[in-house]
């Protein structure tokens, strides 16, 4: 058992915690474009650059598309590359997200989760990251600023692990984490440096069987990003799927190693009072904190409530989740984003399908909540536990897909059902107008 | 700069190997080979999506004897920015073996005039020390000859076809190189494979420049322009001789961009009689066939000539030849 390193308590919001962790990691290249609520990260990091606290090449790119393109170029040339984005910015990067993962470049990014337009909204939900859930990036969701700091440091180790070599997206809830001051324990610079180690270059096999370092280097003229057609593309994608699968083990290993250093151990999931729980809320991100608080209150009332926080959404820890939920009678999956036209939210569909062939399965219901930053206070989660309690007792599921904290049935413009008129009708004043 | 001899060319390493799958007569490989040969230092190439990329990198084969990356269509300049920044940082940390590595971004007209313009403009404003090579074949050739911002007036493409009502592209060609000069980078030049010594000297200047450099290559496409394979270099010459594609360069001097006409175009400036009529250039290309058949569209040809004259005069003015 190694000794836990001496730590300093700092007051930081989630964005600053990320920037501080990146400063300690001192990557060669940071390329980023400002977007609310990620801006603090680029602002604080720019100060580090201006004050000579890092040796990083900071590239204030002209768009998020270029932020990811630049990160790709930098990572391919052998640098550690970091970027941060949110919402529309992540959406603009979308094309390049797939290319970063397809080229197997271990880039690290903070996604400060924010709702997607339209309607435009700057507040926190998971729509942005969920849109990128199939992009081949690992997605880790943080509960608080401490975890944001810790996860950035672990992210390099996970991304650069020889069995993974994939980019990692560290998700923090917009405003709720990004702009909220919390106590964050930081480890010394040299401990971070030692933990992440020097950047290593993977050695790969060329089509002709020779070995070569996977890097843009004059002495090893590799072609990176070649056109890959019917005869090879599929195999390369299979390798990528394998790497994502390998990440399940690596995230745990690195999370444990980090725990030995700091006393804070991380895994794929974060079960809270799940050992004997009969009902549970399954959630990602900062809402887990509120859910745990409410679970405590339920426990005080003698209700066997638990919380399962999913930290790693990609890769999806199917086995761990099934194991954690196998003795639960009823559970509620909370989704902070919508997959329009799907039967339930992204987290719900994954969890429900995880139980498809299990004999013992809980009743699983889905709650959409918190879209566009709509608050999810304790009383709402209290309602969820009470409804779960009722489902568990009666065995009656009721509505499977539910909405939490949504105003419904009010007779206002939001609920007006649109009628269609012809363009000519606009000229005749049929529906009023000037 | 000293004159480059053909022997020197033959003795330098081929950085883009033969055996690639570009069409016979394609202007791209000739230009790329010459530009690469002009680099005395190691070079890393960042290709945009396009003919050059798909024809040189079909896995498991590659024509590139230099480190090469392709990531997407609109971002050659951004990818190159990352490579340049990485090398800078790695050099600083003392792990990089080479003192100078040239970073060359290569893109077509679609990837430069249109979809890649933002990334290009950003990279030049940030003043990355990269060389950006525009292979201008005046349409989206890789996807099948669609019009771009670089397509000249009345050229027929698959999205600006000569129809019963509309005679090809109605708009004029965007003057991308002059726009790049307005970015006030270290160096901008127009190049043509027909004038290979001029091309190589300009490429050397670009690689040696103390900031971003832009090389605009006139790059015939027999498939898209519908001309015979063996006419590509002839068309390169005619484009200069008719002044539809004059050769010039602009360098930053005392913080100001100074234009200079290059020898082949300067000769015409000195002897305006040598300026050939644009019709000689147009009639060799099937993309302008509707201007000659079934009957000659004199008015449209005159409009093209007027445009050429106007743009040529602008260049003469900028170069202090007027």
| Shortest CA distance from A76: residue in chain B | B83
Are B119 and B204 spatial neighbours (Cβ–Cβ below 8 Å)? no
Taking alpha carbons only, the member of A325, A335, A228 closest to residue A280 is: A325
In a domain, B136, yes or no: yes
Residue B252 phi/psi, 5-degree rounding, is -80, 125
Token pair for B108: 């077509």
Instruction: Compare CB distances from B82 to A29, A62, A228 and report the shortest one's residue.
Output: A29
pLDDT tens-place string over residues B132-187:
999 999 999 999 999 999 999 999 999 999 999 999 999 999 999 999 999 999 99
Residue A212 contacts B, CB cutoff 8 Å: no
Q: Inspect the interface and report whether the beta carbons of B98 and A218 lie closer than 8 Å.
A: yes
Residue B9 reports pLDDT greater than 70: yes
Coil, strand or helix: which one is B256?
Answer: strand
Quote the percentage of chain A above a pLDDT of 70: 98
Q: Inspect the interface and report whether the beta carbons of A224 and B97 lie closer than 8 Å.
A: no
Distance from CA of A29 to the nearest CA of B (A): 6
Mean pLDDT, residues A296-317 taken together: 98
Residue B210 phi/psi, 5-degree rounding, is -95, 50
Dist CA B276 CA B245 (whole Å):
12
Mean pLDDT, residues B117-137 taken together: 98
Strand-strand pairing, A81-85 and B102-108: unpaired
Q: What is the ipTM of this complex?
A: 0.96
pLDDT on residue B62 = 96
Token pair for A164: 């993974």
Instruction: Compare CB distances from A69 to B79, B87, B89 and report the shortest one's residue.
Output: B79
Dist CA B186 CA A62 (whole Å):
20
Q: Give burial (CB, 10 Å; 0-12/13-18/19+) of B183.
A: middle
Residue with token string 């060359």: B104
Dist CA A163 CA B83 (whole Å):
25
In a domain, B254, yes or no: yes
Residue B251, strand partner residues: B187, B258
Are B29 and B233 spatial neighbours (Cβ–Cβ below 8 Å)? no
pLDDT tens-place string over residues A385-430:
999 999 999 999 999 999 999 987 766 777 778 889 999 989 888 8
Which H/E stretch holds residue B120? helix B117-125
Residue A43 Cα to chain centre, angstroms: 22
Mean pLDDT, residues B95-103 taken together: 96
Instruction: Compare CB distances from A57 to B58, B85, B97 and report the shortest one's residue.
Output: B85
Q: Inspect the interface and report whether the beta carbons of B71 and A99 lie closer than 8 Å.
A: yes
Are A71 and A42 spatial neighbours (Cβ–Cβ below 8 Å)? no
Contacts with B, A 1-30, CB within 8 Å:
28-29
Taking alpha carbons only, the member of A141, A103, A56, A70 closest to residue A313 is: A141
Q: Which residues of B touch A57 (CB under 8 A)?
A: 85-86, 88-89
Sign of CA dihedral A81, B51, B181, B2: positive
Residue A111 Cα to chain centre, angstroms: 7
In a domain, B1, yes or no: no
Residue A230 contacts B, CB cutoff 8 Å: no
Domain count within chain B: 1
Q: Where on the phi/psi map is residue A274: left (φ > 0), alpha (ψ -120 to 50), or beta?
A: alpha
Q: Inspect the interface and report whether the beta carbons of A57 and B86 lie closer than 8 Å.
A: yes
Q: What is the mean pLDDT of chain A?
A: 96
Q: HSE, CB side, 13 Å, CA atoms: give it for residue B41.
A: 18
In a domain, B221, yes or no: yes
Among B89, B104, B111, B123, which would you mutate to test the A interface (most chain A Cβ atoms within 10 Å of its Cβ)? Answer: B89
Are A75 and A57 spatial neighbours (Cβ–Cβ below 8 Å)? no
Q: Inspect the interface and report whether the beta carbons of B82 and A78 lie closer than 8 Å.
A: no
Q: Is the peptide bond before A37 cis (omega within 30 degrees of 0)?
A: yes
Residue B1 reports pLDDT greater than 70: no
Distance from CA of B42 to the nearest CA of A (A): 6
Residue A324 Cα to chain centre, angstroms: 21
Locate the domains of chain A by residue range.
8-262, 269-403
pLDDT tens-place string over residues B176-224:
999 999 999 999 999 999 999 999 999 999 999 999 999 999 999 999 9
Residue B90 contacts A, CB cutoff 8 Å: yes
Query: Angle at Cα A25 formed by Cα A150 and Cα A124, nearest 5°?
Result: 50
pLDDT on residue A415 = 72
Answer CATH for A8-262 from 3.30.70.1060, 3.40.50.300, 3.40.50.970, 3.40.309.10: 3.40.50.970
Q: Inspect the interface and report whether the beta carbons of B88 and A57 lie closer than 8 Å.
A: yes
pLDDT on residue A411 = 65
Q: Inspect the interface and report whether the beta carbons of B72 and A96 lie closer than 8 Å.
A: yes
Taking alpha carbons only, the member of A392, A418, A370 closest to residue A280 is: A392
Q: What single string gives the DSSP state of each residue in A268-318?
A: SEEEES-TT-SEEEEE-TTHHHHHHHHHHHHHHTT--EEEEEE-EEES--H
Strand-strand pairing, A220-221 and A216-217: antiparallel
Q: Is the peptide bond before B294 cis (omega within 30 degrees of 0)?
A: yes
Dist CA A362 CA A322 (whole Å):
10
SS3 content of chain A, % helix, strand, coil (to 5): 40, 20, 40
Taking alpha carbons only, the member of A186, A184, A193, A97 closest to residue A136 is: A97
Q: Which residues of B touch A216 (CB under 8 A)?
A: 44, 67-69, 83
Write out the residue range of the structural domain in which residue B118 sits.
6-318
Q: Inspect the interface and report whether the beta carbons of A78 and B86 lie closer than 8 Å.
A: yes
Which residues, 6 or more positions from A133, have their beta carbon under 8 angstroms from its beta carbon?
A139, A313, A314, A346
Residue B105, strand partner residues: B46, B132
Q: Which residues of A touch B79 (CB under 8 A)?
A: 69-70, 72-73
pLDDT on residue A2 = 63
In a domain, B131, yes or no: yes
Distance from CA of B191 to the nearest CA of A (A): 26
Q: Which residues of A touch B58 (CB under 8 A)?
A: 226-227, 229
Q: Which fold has domain A269-403?
A: Rossmann fold (3.40.50)
């Amino acid at each position: 058992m190694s000794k836990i390193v001496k730590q300093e308590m700092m007051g930081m919001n989630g964005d600053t915690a990320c920037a501080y962790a990146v400063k300690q990691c001192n990557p060669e290249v940071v390329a980023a474009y400002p977007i609310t609520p990620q801006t603090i990260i680029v602002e604080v990091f720019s100060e580090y650059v201006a004050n000579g606290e890092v040796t990083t090449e900071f590239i204030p790119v002209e768009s998020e598309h270029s932020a990811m393109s630049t990160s790709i170029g930098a990572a391919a040339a052998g640098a550690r590359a970091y970027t941060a984005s949110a919402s529309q910015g992540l959406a603009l990067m979308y094309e390049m997200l797939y290319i970063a993962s397809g080229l197997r470049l271990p880039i690290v990014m903070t996604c400060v989760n924010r709702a997607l337009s339209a309607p435009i909204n700057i507040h926190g939900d998971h729509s942005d990251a969920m849109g990128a859930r199939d992009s081949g990036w690992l997605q880790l969701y943080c509960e608080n600023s401490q975890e944001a700091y810790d996860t950035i440091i672990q992210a390099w180790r996970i991304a650069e692990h020889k069995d993974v070599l994939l980019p990692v997206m560290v998700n923090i809830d917009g405003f709720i984490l990004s702009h909220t001051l919390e106590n964050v324990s930081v480890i010394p610079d040299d401990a971070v440096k030692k933990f992440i180690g020097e950047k290593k270059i993977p050695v790969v096999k060329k089509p002709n069987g020779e070995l070569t370092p996977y890097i843009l280097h004059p002495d090893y003229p590799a072609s990176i990003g070649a056109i890959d057609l019917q005869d090879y593309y599929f195999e390369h994608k299979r390798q990528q799927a394998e790497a994502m699968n390998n990440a399940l083990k690596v995230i745990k290993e690195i999370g444990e190693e980090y725990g030995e250093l700091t006393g804070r151990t991380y895994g794929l999931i974060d079960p809270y009072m799940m050992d004997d729980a009969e009902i549970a809320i399954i959630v990602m991100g900062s809402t887990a904190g509120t859910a745990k608080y409410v679970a405590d209150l339920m426990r005080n009332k003698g209700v066997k409530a638990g919380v399962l926080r999913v930290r790693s959404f990609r890769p999806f820890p199917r086995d761990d989740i099934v194991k954690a939920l196998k003795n639960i009678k009823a559970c509620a999956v909370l989704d902070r984003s919508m997959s329009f036209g799907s039967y339930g939210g992204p987290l719900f569909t994954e969890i429900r399908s995880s139980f498809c062939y299990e004999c013992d399965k809980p009743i699983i219901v889905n709650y959409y909540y918190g879209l566009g930053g709509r608050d999810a206070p304790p009383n709402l989660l209290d309602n969820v536990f009470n409804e779960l309690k009722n489902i568990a007792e009666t065995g009656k599921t009721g509505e499977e897909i539910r909405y939490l904290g949504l105003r419904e049935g009010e007779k206002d413009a939001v609920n007006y059902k649109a009628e269609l008129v012809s363009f000519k009708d606009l000229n005749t004043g049929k529906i009023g107008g000037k | 700069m000293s004159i480059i001899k053909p022997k020197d060319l033959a003795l330098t390493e081929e950085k883009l190997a033969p055996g690639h799958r570009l069409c016979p007569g394609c202007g791209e490989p000739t230009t790329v080979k010459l530009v690469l040969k002009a680099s005395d230092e190691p070079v890393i190439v960042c290709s945009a999506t396009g003919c050059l990329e798909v024809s040189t990198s079909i896995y498991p084969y590659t024509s590139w004897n230099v480190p090469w990356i392709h990531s997407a269509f609109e971002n050659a300049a951004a990818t190159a920015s990352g490579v340049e920044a990485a090398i800078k940082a790695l050099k600083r940390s003392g792990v990089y073996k080479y003192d100078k590595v040239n970073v060359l971004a290569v893109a077509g007209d679609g990837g430069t005039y249109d979809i890649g313009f933002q990334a290009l403009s950003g990279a030049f404003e940030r003043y990355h020390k990269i060389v950006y090579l525009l292979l201008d074949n005046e349409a989206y050739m890789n996807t099948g000859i669609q019009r771009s911002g670089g397509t000249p007036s009345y050229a027929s493409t698959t999205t600006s076809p000569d129809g019963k009502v509309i005679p090809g592209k109605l708009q004029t060609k965007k003057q991308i190189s002059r726009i790049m000069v307005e970015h006030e980078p270290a160096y901008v030049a127009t190049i043509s494979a027909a004038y290979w010594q001029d091309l190589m000297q300009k490429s050397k200047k670009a690689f040696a420049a103390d900031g971003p450099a832009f090389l605009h290559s006139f790059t015939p496409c027999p498939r898209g322009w519908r001309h015979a394979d063996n006419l590509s270099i002839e068309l390169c010459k005619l484009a200069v001789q008719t002044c539809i594609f004059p050769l010039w360069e602009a360098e930053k001097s005392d913080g100001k961009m100074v234009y200079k006409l290059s020898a082949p175009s300067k000769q015409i400036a000195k002897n305006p009689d040598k300026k050939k009529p644009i019709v000689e250039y147009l009639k060799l290309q099937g993309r302008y066939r509707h201007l000659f058949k079934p009957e000659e569209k004199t008015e449209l040809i005159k409009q093209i000539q007027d445009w050429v004259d106007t743009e040529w005069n602008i260049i003469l003015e900028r170069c202090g030849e007027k």
